[in-house]
Structure 1
């Protein structure tokens, strides 16, 4: 290769490594902005009423654990009227409805609503959550709404801690991701750190970016702000509903924060690996509104930026360009440090930091897979198109 071409290639590699370093620094700042979950405070004030809405479509394998966790919350234990639960059976074809009705029979705080899929203009999960709020009623729903995915398991203090945290940081919406599944699937350590990085680049955990960050696993929202934004009806056709509602709350004068509640909430939605891959694919297909150019560009860009550092080290070593080796090593180390921060935040394996460029490239495959499925018309979630 001619010296000029070598210089150009080295410059391009150097630019890519610099970009990877910038991403790593930004990721570390984003992770540090997560709010620590506060301990509940004893109080003589009657607890605020909370309605928990659980959208469930073919969730028979996990719904029982979810509802047991909700019913076991310490919050409102002395005042049953403080906590209500609405399970929305969204056209399930398994035993989801039977499990929900068994819990309703055992606990008067639990109600079950059956819907047969979304009407035109609505996406499935958004319509199910809307139906849950409507079933709870306007004044009866209480001061707070908690939306919880059926594939989560709540620790007994989660709700009390979320409410205390929201009050202490003056937030109108708080959300937390779930912690790793008990089986510790391969998807969690391999996909979660780069996935958190990519989501955080498009939305801010402190709500100050172009879009506010939120996680649909567990989302607590003041009822007054839910009404202020027009409820789920205002977001009827969206599939990235968590970030959309957080951004809407922020844009209507509310305060949104992402909190670290992983020690009090677990999710099974990333186990096994194929399910974790599909979950991330669905999120990015939804977030890009099924844009094939964005998905392909994002996937290829993710692969290029992730692998730039090891390629620079290899190219520099082969050509005898020590500065390129050093630059690549710095970029590799920066990605590793970012991995350590994201891995610790998500309760996974920081010791995989040396593999960060390669797990980052692997995640690029999630986006490319999403683009391929959109092109083929096979992008779906829970048997419904588009997710």
Structure 2
């Protein structure tokens, strides 16, 4: 019951995406960095969405000093990623492609690719913003302008939004996403409060001045839960961070099919626990036990004809269902599984237990590229 109430409170703290920034004679530069490793299946749509942004369009894509510029980091790809990025660069002078051969020792892959992208952008400009977009995320044309307006309204130094599901998505969204959001939210706050600040790596927009202040990605070189890490570091250095509800303006295919969504969550939680077998086992078993407690109490009450146990089990079941429905709506995941929330929550416990099995086997998959969510 307490977990459900806390999740509902945090869900209400997510900022709505409402308005564009106040008009400016010279809009600030926004540098978009797209890390891409073997993303030939999704990169084209990602870059089309970025190039179509309405922000800065008054200065035009052909201006010598555009308000929007894009750096695509071909991170050691062995497929057609580089060719796709190169085609976009040939079509649009705002797009630049840089090649990286992968991270040096001590760096995680995605963090190093984003570091390379910022370095390629050159020296910081006054008022500049940085935007980090996953290659499997597609932005609607108005998103950047609205994110800037939301950051301006909230006086925030870092805002992020998750991507919503594509039109044809797998069961990972209604089954895994509500419980996943709840568990991440229990350890990080969308308002930047508590021990960790919440951010989602699909799309992060931050002031470059704060990026430089914290030492950039170099200060987080080995981190694999890089989104929460950078938001927490910005917060700890006096910045304001917020999560924004921009799912109507961004979609991600990174959770599909179901196995990919499962693995994405697994890698995120293994990274978040630093590969701790006791933590993964404890969290996984705790998630399964707490989730199934309400149905178990209700069943015991019915068998023993105990009104008290029936009431307790029913209240716990309803609380989980309401929380599932709310988090599913936040993530545009569909709330139709809310009535069986105790069981979908228990299924999510299997994600952590799978992570524990991989760690116990000595698997190194979690040490590779960071999970996207």
Q: In 2 relative to 1, CA 291–230 (structure 1 residues): closer, same or farther, beyond 3 Å?
A: same
Match of 1:384 in 2: 368
Query: In 2, distance between residues paired with 1:125 and 1:360?
Result: 29
Aligned residues, how many? 366
CA shift for structure 1 position 44: 4.2
CA contact (8 A) 2:21 2:152 kept: no
Match of 1:13 in 2: none
1:207 has 2:187 as partner: no
Query: In 2, distance between residues paired with 1:124 and 1:225?
Result: 22
Query: After superposition, what is the alpha-carbon deviation per residue over 1:73-104, rounded to whole angstroms, capped at 9, x for unaligned?
Result: 00011114100100001111111111000100
1:55 has 2:35 as partner: yes
Give TM-score scaled by structure 1 length: 0.92
Query: In 1, distance between residues paired with 2:111 and 2:299?
Result: 48
Query: In 1, distance between residues paired with 2:196 and 2:260?
Result: 27
Q: For residues 45-124 of structure 1, what are the structure 2 equivalents within 5 Å?
A: 45-79=25-59, 80=61, 81-124=66-109
1:221 has 2:206 as partner: yes
Query: In 1, distance between residues paired with 2:304 and 2:148?
Result: 58
Q: For residues 109-148 of structure 1, what are the structure 2 equivalents within 5 Å?
A: 109-139=94-124, 143-148=128-133
CA contact (8 A) 2:163 2:203 kept: yes
Query: After superposition, what is the alpha-carbon deviation per residue over 1:163-190, rounded to whole angstroms, capped at 9, x for unaligned?
Result: 0000000000000010012212110010
Counterpart selection for 1:163 from 148, 173, 178:
148
Runs (5+) with no aligned partner, structure 2: none
Secondary structure of the structure 2 residue equivalent to 1:350: coil
Q: In 2 relative to 1, CA 188–385 (structure 1 residues): closer, same or farther, beyond 3 Å?
A: closer
Counterpart selection for 1:251 from 232, 236, 247:
236
Secondary structure of the structure 1 residue equivalent to 2:314: helix
Query: In 2, distance between residues paired with 1:44 and 1:284?
Result: 42
1:22 has 2:7 as partner: no
Query: In 1, distance between residues paired with 2:116 and 2:22?
Result: 34
1:261 has 2:246 as partner: yes
Query: After superposition, what is the alpha-carbon deviation per residue over 1:298-355, rounded to whole angstroms, capped at 9, x for unaligned?
Result: 0110001111000100111112222011100000000111111101111122222111
Query: In 2, distance between residues paired with 1:141 and 1:152?
Result: 28
Query: In 2, distance between residues paired with 1:29 and 1:386?
Result: 29
Secondary structure of the structure 2 residue equivalent to 1:153: strand
Query: In 2, distance between residues paired with 1:173 and 1:32?
Result: 18
CA contact (8 A) 1:379 1:385 kept: no
Q: In 2 relative to 1, CA 371–204 (structure 1 residues): closer, same or farther, beyond 3 Å?
A: same
Query: In 1, distance between residues paired with 2:303 and 2:105?
Result: 59
